[in-house]
Amino acid sequence: MKLGWAAGRVLAKKGTGPVLVGKDTRISGYMFESALEAGLSAAGVDIRLLGPMPTPGIAFLTKSTRAQAGIVISASHNLFHDNGLKFFSSDGTKLPDDVEMEIEYELNYPMRSVPSLNLGKARRITDAPRRYIEFCKSKIENNINFNDLRIVIDCANGATYHIAPKVFEELGAEVILHGASPNGLNINDECGATSPDALQELVKASRADVGIAFDGDGDRLIMADHCGAVLDGDDILYIIAQSQLRKLNGAVVGTVMSNLGLEHAIKKLELDFFRAAVGDRYVMELLLKNNLILGGETSGHIINLELTTTGDGIIAALQVLESIILTGKNLSELTKEISKYPQIVRNIKFDTQIDITRNDEINLAIKDTENILANTGRVVLRPSGTESLIRIMVEGENENQIETLVDELADKVNKVTTRLH
Q: Which of 41, 74, 76, 90 is catalytic?
A: 76
The β-bridge partners of 66 are none
Alpha helices in 68-227 (DSSP H): 97-106, 128-137, 164-170, 197-206
- Cα–Cα distance for residue pair 204/201, rounded to 1 Å: 5
Per the annotation, the verdict on 76 as an active-site residue is: yes
- Which runs of E-coded beta strand occur in 53-126? 69-73, 85-88, 122-124
The β-bridge partners of 252 are 273
- Cα–Cα distance for residue pair 384/301, rounded to 1 Å: 16
- Cα–Cα distance for residue pair 214/224, rounded to 1 Å: 12
- Cα–Cα distance for residue pair 312/189, rounded to 1 Å: 21
Alpha helices in 251-305 (DSSP H): 260-268, 280-289
Name the DSSP letter for residue 118: G
- Closest among 119, 49, 120, 58 to 93, alpha carbons compared: 58
Reported as half-sphere exposure (CB side, CA atoms, 13 A), residue 411 has a value of 7
- Cα–Cα distance for residue pair 258/138, rounded to 1 Å: 30
Question: Which residues participate in catalysis according to the annotation?
Answer: 76
